[in-house]
Amino acid sequence: MQTLERSAPSSIQLVRSCFLRDRWQAQQACLYATKKRHPVPVPETFEEKETWKTKLIRILTDASEPLTSQAVWLKAEPEGFRSKRHMKGLLDDMRRRGVLKTEPNVVNKSFGYKIGKLPRGFRPGTVASEPASSNQAAPADLTAAQRSWFTRG
């Protein structure tokens, strides 16, 4: 009986197998990426553009007393939060930055979150205005030469 010995693969076979392997992996990665991708709706109003942190700030500013993490979660879940761990991570990050303060509750020996120093320029409850146009209207009490300065491009 004759035994067949395997010879070492040729360089052409190695290149071909590497090419096929890379091609297969690229196709699988492309299929995986397109399966996970969902169309992202374009936000039209300011409320839809609200970030997770601004939602938490709004929840805590609406509260009259410091809220525990459970009370914040009960109000944040209808707002679109899916994970309590994510919410607590955001609260902890905001506490480290000084946006939130923790105030102990003597009765339950637990603490509640309350607003500390708001970020610069943050005004809760405001609606984004339309962007200012580049062509400003000239005031009525200007001369013709001064008025032409406003209309230059």
Q: What is the pTM of this model?
A: 0.47
Evaluate whether residue 78 is within a structural domain. Answer: yes
User: What is the CATH number for 83?
Assistant: 1.10.10.10
Tokens at 121, concatenated? 């320029």
> Structural domain tally of the chain?
1
**Domain-embedded: residue 106:** yes
Q: Is there a domain that residue 12 lies in?
A: no
Residue 72 counted as domain residue: yes
Over residues 56-100, the pLDDT tens digits come to 999 998 888 888 899 999 999 999 898 999 999 999 998 888 888
Best CA proximity match to 99, nearest among 75, 121, 126: 121
Domain assignment present for residue 88? The answer is yes
For residue 47, give the DSSP letter.
G
Q: For the segment 109-131, what is each residue's pLDDT rounded down to a tens digit? A: 678 888 877 766 665 555 444 44
Q: What is the 8-class DSSP label of residue 142? A: S
d(CA 61, CA 125): 10
Range of the domain at 61: 47-115
